[in-house]
């Protein structure tokens, strides 16, 4: 059974009928005409970019937190007051 892409209550390919199956989920769409429309391609592009942004954001936050915490622990473990770099709070002396 062919599943069409539903855009604002209409099928992207322009077919009309009461018994046609339609979906907003991009992976379920099987109609070649729907897949070749600009609306489908733009929706696919937006979905892909959103997934990439979410992945990139998760990686950036994760590594930034781990790097900073490990560096603070390393500086706290060092003996003496001469510690570099002087970028974090509680490091006013060199």
CA diameter of the chain: 80
pLDDT greater at residue 67 or residue 22: 22
- Residue 77 is predicted with a pLDDT of 79
Q: For 15-37, what is each residue's pLDDT tens digit?
A: 988 899 999 999 999 999 999 99
* pLDDT tier for residue 94 given thresholds of 50, 70 and 90: very low
pTM for the predicted model, two decimal places? 0.59
pLDDT at 81 over 80: no
Cβ burial, residue 76 (10 Å; 0-12/13-18/19+):
exposed
């Amino acid at each position: 059974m062919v599943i069409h892409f539903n855009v604002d209550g209409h099928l992207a390919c322009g077919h009309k009928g009461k018994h046609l199956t339609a979906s907003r989920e991009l992976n379920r769409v099987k109609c070649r005409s729907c897949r070749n429309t600009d609306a489908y391609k733009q929706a696919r592009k937006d979905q892909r970019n959103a997934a990439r942004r979410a992945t990139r954001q998760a990686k950036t936050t994760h590594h930034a937190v781990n790097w900073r915490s490990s560096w603070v622990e390393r500086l706290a473990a060092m003996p003496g007051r001469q510690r570099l770099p002087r970028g974090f709070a509680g490091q006013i002396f060199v």
